Every structure is written in structure tokens, then in C-alpha cells.
A = this chain, B = another copy of it.
Amino acid sequence: MAKYAHQTPILIAIDCIIFGFDGERLKLLLIQRGIEPEMHKWSLMGGFVNAKESLDEAANNILKKLTGLEGVYMEQLQAFGAVYRDPGDRIVSVAYFALIDIHQYEQQLSQEYHAEWFELDKVPPLIFDHNDMVDTARKKLRYKAALHPILFELLPEKFTIPQLQSLYEGIYDSVFDKRNFSRKLLSTGLLIKQKDKDKLNSKKGAFYYVLDKGKYQENFHAFLNLIPNPDHLQFV
């Protein structure tokens, strides 16, 4: 504290918001808090930043320690800094988020940890401002989904339109009309129909599609037309 001796240091925490898609539903990973205040309540995965860790390093270390998850690419959301956000002390928390394929990380999660996946519309009340953090992260996901192929990264190489619709509905917290969604989606010209069908999830079956990645790069905002309401795109 040599140079800036008259300044007050503040505790800095990290909170990790991990969204996951299991092919059916968009979910959120939560744990039960292990310390006071608010012990045993549902919480994002959180912890303190040490003096010798960058924020990114701290985020990865905390996620690993609390859930076993490794190698998850998290992106910083923003810092949350209301004075009384944590009743235990003045703490500024830097939130990180990721959207992962649940199946890909099943093994890492399943062992000794008690992290649980909750469907997004069944998330319980969380400690402190964690529900706000989740809402803010969802808004950022909407932005990302509008301009980037992140949603396709969560789907298997070939996927059905109902699968893609379910993912969009989770992100946009909306229910879309099936025929409209399908029509708009196919009108982008960016999906290539396959010959085979998924027959597990309906009697009639649903054709598989793959993304035309070359065309997608050239015309990445064709998918914007899928978004029903610009109000869902308020900038965070």
C-alpha cells in the first residue's frame, strides 16, 4: 500500500453464472452457500479474489473449487457494487458467465459436488443480488445470440427445429409460434435439411438440420429476424 496509502481497500468477490442447455431446456447451475451470512441458501458459485490472482484466474479457480468444472470459457459480465449488497461487509462482486452444453460436462459435475441444475423458470430466490446478476447475464446472452452463432455451438452437429426453438425460447424467455418460427428460420437459407429424422421426441418425427457455416459467416444477422420483440433487447 505504498503509493496509495490513504485509500480504503475493499473486498472483491467473484460470482459465476453458468447456464447450460441439455438439448431440451436452458438451465442454471446453483449451489447451497457454505458460509454465513445466508448459509445453506441457493447461490451462484462465489468466492473472494486473492491479491495475487487476476479476476479471470479467480473466476476459474472458484468455479473449479465449488463445482469441479474446468475449462469452461467464462466471460466477464460486469461488477456489482451497491454499498449494502452483502450484509456481511462491503463487497464488490465481479460476475462471470458462460453457456455450456450440459452433457459435455456431466462427468466433471457428477462426483463429489452438490451443484444442481435448475430450469430457468424454476430458479429459487437467490442470496443478495444474485437474481439481478442472472437477469443481467440473460440480457447479455440475448445480445450475443442476436449477433453470434453461440446458440449453434450448444446444439449437436445435426439438430431439429424444435430443439433450436426450445433454446431460443429459453434465451428470450418467450414462447414462439411453431409454424412462424419454423418458417422464419428456414427462410434464412442458412439451414441444410438432412435426410434422416429424430423419431424419439414425436410420433411424426422431426427432420434434422445442419447449419451452413460458410453462408452463416457471410450473413450472420439473418437470424435477427427470429427475434420477436426488440424490447427484449434492451442493452444491459
User: What 1/0 mask marks residues of chain A from 100 to 115 whose CB sits below 8 Å from any chain B CB?
Assistant: 0000000000000000
Tell whether, in the assembled complex, residue B147 and residue A233 are in contact, meaning their CB atoms are under 8 Å apart: yes
CA distance A78 to B90 in the complex (A): 19
- A87 closest partner in B (C-beta): B3
**Contacts from A to B (Cβ < 8 Å):** 1-4, 7-12, 36-37, 48-56, 58, 75-79, 81-83, 88-92, 94, 143-144, 146-148, 217, 220-221, 224, 230, 233, 235
From B48, B76, B143, contact of A143 by CB (8 A): B143
Q: Least Cβ distance of A48 to chain B in Å?
A: 5
Tell whether, in the assembled complex, residue A92 and residue B2 are in contact, meaning their CB atoms are under 8 Å apart: no
Copies in the complex: 2
CA distance A21 to B53 in the complex (A): 38
From B7, B48, B147, B217, contact of A4 by CB (8 A): B48
From B10, B49, B50, B217, contact of A51 by CB (8 A): B10
Can you list 8 pairs linking A and B with CB atoms under 8 Å apart? A3-B88, A3-B89, A7-B48, A10-B51, A12-B12, A55-B81, A77-B78, A147-B235
Tell whether, in the assembled complex, residue B224 and residue A55 are in contact, meaning their CB atoms are under 8 Å apart: no
From B50, B75, B94, B147, contact of A79 by CB (8 A): B94
Among A4, A37, A91, find the residue whose CB has the most chain B CB atoms closer than 10 A. A4
CA distance A88 to B233 in the complex (A): 40
